[in-house]
């Protein structure tokens, strides 16, 4: 149930200040309670590095399993970092070699920002494959988010993502397509998930690969799916970990890019996210910004505080429930010696006993 502050990573103190339960390592060692060690391969750029830590740490810490959660963040050297980003990683992150030596009960792999159309040509491609292949053989379950899902679908299942031709951006309604799977136990049959991506793996591709789709959207297509063994790999195509202001922050960054002539068009609103009143305020701001840019004036102050008070989070409870189900199954299936992903007697091809 509680996270354990097993390092001086500032994210722990930030979560504690937000009211999350975070144990000091000294107090955790005095409790007679089982540990779960969860890796976070954080591939996000520097601007989102700490926020991504908090988002996934929070979801894990809010699950109801009776366990202490030790989080092990690491990244890939091939990802571009600023001096500040490299300093953060060097001080607070672990190496993949150390991760392999210690073992993990579960692994979360975040998305990443890429500029090219071919994932296989990205500098992190081979190192990412190495991590996922290791996890497949040594970790009970790996949860892949967004780009990580696209990467696994390409190199393991030969299903390449396709460009949408636009940015799928906003909060979309989804429905559960397989109510018997333990990952969606107790989850609302309809729920929202944020998406933010230019590419997509279609429902037909998941089916062609022999995977099980658990939740999809009429607009945004597949969000949640699982590997053919029903648990070894969990796929997220959306971003249920997002904070309530994540899309607002992203919209603000795109507005700034327009002001700095880094994009030609003024960014559209994320769909199903801003209220009508907020859209009117932002349209007025758009006019102010365009006038300021034309006249060579400074960027007007973005009305972030005014907009943020009218936002609604319609996805976090469902995300928490799915992560809780995921953690619960990891807890049940993982050998206490983390060198082996499943307890003796568990059918690796059907660990959830769903095919009987």
Active-site annotation, residues = 146, 239, 241
Closest CA to 187 of 352, 59, 331, 325: 325
Distance of CA 267 to the CA centre of its chain: 23
Q: How far is CA 335 from CA 106, 144, 257, 341, 343, in A?
A: 11, 22, 49, 6, 5
Residue pair 229/350 in contact by the 8 Å Cβ criterion: yes
Which tokens hold the place of 182?
A: 């333990």
Q: 27: which residues sit within 8 A by CB, 6+ positions away?
A: none
Task: In whole angstroms, give the CA distance from residue 297 to residue 234.
Answer: 49
Q: How far is CA 37 from CA 33, 58, 82, 258, in A?
A: 13, 15, 29, 42
Closest CA to 232 of 96, 355, 138: 138
Region at 158 (left for phi over 0; alpha for psi -120 to 50; beta for the rest): left
Q: 80: which residues sit within 8 A by CB, 6+ positions away?
A: 45
Which tokens hold the place of 108?
A: 């979360």
Q: What angle do CA 99, 102, 104 make, to 5 degrees?
A: 70
Residue pair 76/43 in contact by the 8 Å Cβ criterion: yes
Q: What is the DSSP letter of 341?
A: S
């Amino acid at each position: 149930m509680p996270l354990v502050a097993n390092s001086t990573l500032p994210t722990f103190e930030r979560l504690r200040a937000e009211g999350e339960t975070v144990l000091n390592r000294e107090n955790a060692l005095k409790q007679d309670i089982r540990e779960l060690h969860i890796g976070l391969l954080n591939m996000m750029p520097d601007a989102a590095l700490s926020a991504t830590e908090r988002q996934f740490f929070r979801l894990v810490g809010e699950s109801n399993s009776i366990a202490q959660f030790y989080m092990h963040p690491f990244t890939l050297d091939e990802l571009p970092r600023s001096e500040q980003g490299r300093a953060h990683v060097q001080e607070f992150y672990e190496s993949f070699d150390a991760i392999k030596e210690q073992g993990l009960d579960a692994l979360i792999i975040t998305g990443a920002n890429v500029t090219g159309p071919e994932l296989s040509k990205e500098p992190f491609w081979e190192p990412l494959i190495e991590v996922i292949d290791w996890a497949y053989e040594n970790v009970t379950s790996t949860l892949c988010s967004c780009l990580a899902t696209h990467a696994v679908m390409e190199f393991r299942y030969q299903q390449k993502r396709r460009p949408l031709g636009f940015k799928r951006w906003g909060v979309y309604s989804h429905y559960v397509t397989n109510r018997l799977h333990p990952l969606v136990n107790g989850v609302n049959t309809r729920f929202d998930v944020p998406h933010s991506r230019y590419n997509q793996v279609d429902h037909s591709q998941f089916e062609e690969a022999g995977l099980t789709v658990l939740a999809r959207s009429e607009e945004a297509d597949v969000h949640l799916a699982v590997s053919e063994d029903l648990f070894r790999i969990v796929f997220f195509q959306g971003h249920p970990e997002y904070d309530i202001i994540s899309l607002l922050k992203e919209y603000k960054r795109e507005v700034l890019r327009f002001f700095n002539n880094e994009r030609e068009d003024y960014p559209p609103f994320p769909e199903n996210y801003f209220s009508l009143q907020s859209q009117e305020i932002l349209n007025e701001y758009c006019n102010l910004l365009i006038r300021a840019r034309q006249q060579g004036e400074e960027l007007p102050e973005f009305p972030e505080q005014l907009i943020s008070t009218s936002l609604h989070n319609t996805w976090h409870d469902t995300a928490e429930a799915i992560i809780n189900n995921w953690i619960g199954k990891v807890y049940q299936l993982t050998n206490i010696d983390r060198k082996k992903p499943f307890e003796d007697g568990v059918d690796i091809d059907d660990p959830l006993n769903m095919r009987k």
